Structure 1
Amino acid sequence: MQALLQAAAVAPALLPASIPSPDWSGFDIPLPWGSLRIHAYALCILAGIVVGLWLTSVRWAKRGAPEGSVWDIVIWAIPFGIIGGRLYHVVSSPDAYFGPGFDGTGDLSLIPQIQRGGLGIWGAVVLGAVGAWIGCRRSGVKLSAFVDAAAPGLLLAQAIGRWGNYFNQELFGGPTTLPWGLQIDPNNPNFPAGMPADTLFHPTFLYESLWNLAGVLILLALDRRFHFRRSRLFWLYAMYYTLGRVWIEAMRIDDAEQISILGITTRLNVWTSIFVFLAALIAFILLGLKGRPDPDTVYLPGHQPEKPAEAVTDSGASHEVRDTDRSVSDSDSRGNLPDNHSGSRHASDPTEDAAAAPEGPEPGTDATAAGHSGSTATGPASEAGTVK
C-alpha cells in the first residue's frame, strides 16, 4: 500500500505539464538538382485521406456498389476538394495573400503553397461534392448513396489531418494554464506578438481531432441502428461537425476574416458553421419525411446490373432461356404442316396424339429431350433446346 501511495505521489511529476511544441516538421529527399521537402502537414493530410478512403470503401461495398467504383469517384473528389479547401482558406484569411483591407501588400505567390497549411473544410466539402457528383454520374451510382457511405470516413480523415496544424504550429487557441496547454516555439512566426515566451495555448487541433473521432463512432452507431438513406447520414455529419466547430473556432486567435451580422461580429468560419448547421438540420428533417427510397439501391435509374432470365430444365439445373416462346411456337407450327408426299397430316396431328400418345411434356420440350438422347435438331426448332 505504501508503494502505491509513493507511486501516486511521483506520477504527477513524471507527466508533462504541457504539450511540447514539435521539433520536427518534415524531411528532405535529396535530388540531383537539389532536394524535395516532404512536410509533416502534407503527410497528415495524406494519412487522413488513406484511412478515410479505407472506411468509405468498406461501407460502399456493403451497400452493394459496383466493384472499384469508389476509386472512380474519389479520383475526381479529392483534387476538387483540395482546390476548394485552399480557395476557402484564402477567402476566409485573406490578409497574407492580399494584404490588410486588400491593400495589395500581400503575397499572391503564397496561394498555391498549401504545404504551409491552410485548407478550409467547407470549401473542400463543396467542391469535393462537385467532383464526387461527376464521378458518380460516370459510374452510374447515386451521389446521395455515396455521401452516406463516405460521411464517417470523411470525419475520420479530418480527425487525422487536423494533426497537421500541430506540426505547423498554427491555428491554436488563446492562452491557458491547463496541464494540456500547447507550447509554441517563440521564434515561430505564428507566435503571438507581445506574449511571454513560456505562454501555453489551447490545443484546438487536439480538441477537434477528439471531437471528430467521437463523431465517427456516433455516426457508425446511428447508421447501424437506423440505416439512413437519401444523404441523411451526410447531413447528420454536417450537423455534428459544425456543432463542435462553433465552439472550437471561437477559441482560436489566428487572423481570420471578421463578419458582422445583427450587430454580432465574429469569425467567418463561426457564421459559416452556424448556417451550415441550420441548413443541414432542415435537409435532414425534410428528407426524413420522404421515407426510404424504393427501391433501395445505389444505382441511378437505368444503370442497375441486368439479371438473366432463368428456367429449370428436366435435370433440375437453372439455365438462361432466350425467346423460348417464339422457338416453341415455330416448332409446333412446323410439326402440324401436311406431308406433301403422302397428302396426310404429320404424325403429331393433335387428334391422333390425343388418342394414341401418352401424356408427356408440354410442346417445345421434345427438342430438349432429343438433345439429351443424342439426336440433332436443325433450323429454328433447335433453339428450344439450346442453353444460352
Structure 2
Amino acid sequence: MKIKNIEGGVAAPEGYYAAGVRAGIKYKDKYDLAIIMSKVKAKAAAVYTRNLVKAHPLLLNMQHLTDGEAQAIVVNSGNANACMGEPGEKAALEMAVQTAKELGLKTEDILVASTGVIGQPMPMEKIIPGIAKAAASVQELLQTEPDRETKAGTAHEAALAIMTTDLVPKEKAYELECAEGTVKLGIIAKGSGMIHPNMGTMLCFITTDGAFDSEVLGKLLKEAVDKSFNMVTVDGDTSTNDMVLLLANGRSGIRPQGEELRQFREMLDHACVAMAKAIARDGEGATKLIEVQVNGAGTVKDAGQIVKSVCSSSLVKTAIYGQDANWGRILCAAGYSGAVFDPEGTSIYLNGLQVAQDGRAIPFSEDEALELLKNQEIVIRIDLKDGQENAVGWGCDLTHKYVDINADYRT
C-alpha cells in the first residue's frame, strides 16, 4: 500500500499553512475563526449544499471560483451568515476583502465559509480583528518556515475553530508514494447536527500539493463526495451552509497520471469517507455509529436509496439506541426508499447476526442480539437478490440528548 497516514492535518501538504484563533464570536474562550493559506495560488474545486437556500459565503465562493483558482480560505463558527439579505452579502465580501488585505492577496482568491446559527447578524466588530489575528499567525508561519510539529499544532487550532456542536475535532493527513516523490493530502471537517445526504451542517476543507487541472480536480472531488458526505446522515436536515473545498497547489511538482492518479483518487476517497464516518460518530447526542451496507441491488441508485432511507429512519435510529433488534423497521425503511427490489428476497443482519431471511422472521437469540447492539458501532447489512450492485452509508442513533441540544441551540 503506497498510501499512509501522516501527521499535520490540513497543513501537512507542502506550501500550506493554517491557524485558528479565539475571536469571541459566540463564546469567549472558544477557537472560532481560522485561515488556511497556500503559499502560491492553487487550483480549486468546490461542492455546495443542494439546499435551495444557500448561505452568503457559498454564493460569494461561486463567483470567486469561476476561474477555478484560489489561495486562501477564511472560516468562522458561531454564526452561519445565512438568510440575512444585503447585510449578509456585505459581511461575506468583507471577510474576503479583509483576509486578502492582511495576507497581501487578491480578494477574488479568497474563499469564505461560515457555520452556526442562521438568520443572525454577523458580529463584524469581532470577526475583523479575528481575521487580523489569524492572518498574523499565518504570516509568521510563512516567514519562519516552522517545523512540522509547529505547523501541525496551528492546523489543529484551525480544526478546533470550525467546530460548533462537534465534540471532537476532525482532521487527517495522508501521503502517496509516487515514482518521483510523494503527494500529500490534508483534510479537516466539522459536522454534528443538521446532517443529511446532499451535503449535510457540515464543512470540509482539503489541501493537496499535487498538480491537477481544475476540471480533473472538480471531477475527483464530486466522485469522492458522492461516496462519502452524500452518504452520511444524522437527522435528515440538509443545511444552508454545507460545502467542501479542495485546493491543489502543485508544490510537490508531481502530476499524478495513470495508476498514480487512481491511487490519488483512492486516497481522496478514503479521506472523505473517514471524515463522513467521524461526523456520523459525532452526531449530536449520539452514542453509536451506524453503518448500513446494501448488497445485491439491481442498480447503484437502488442500493444508495435504501442505504439513505435506513440511515435516516428515526424508528431505526431509536431502535439502535434502545438496543432493540427490530428488523421490521429496517425492511420498512427500505420499502419506502423508492428503490426497486424484491422484499421476499431480502435478508437482514445486525453486526453479523442474521435476524431476517427472505423478508420474513427467523429464530435468533434475543440475548445475543442485545449484546451485539451494546457495541458502539453497529453494522446493518441488507442482502438483496436483485443484482450485483452495492452501497454503504453512515448515520447514528437518535437519543434524548439530541432533543436537548437542539431545543435551545439558538439561545
Q: TM-score range by the shorter chain?
A: under 0.3
By relative contact order (CA 8 Å, sep 6+), the higher-ranking structure is 2
Determine which structure has the larger helix proportion and give its number: 1
With the length of structure 1 as denominator, give the TM-score of the two structures: 0.24
**Structure ID, larger Rg:** 1
Determine which structure has the larger strand proportion and give its number: 2
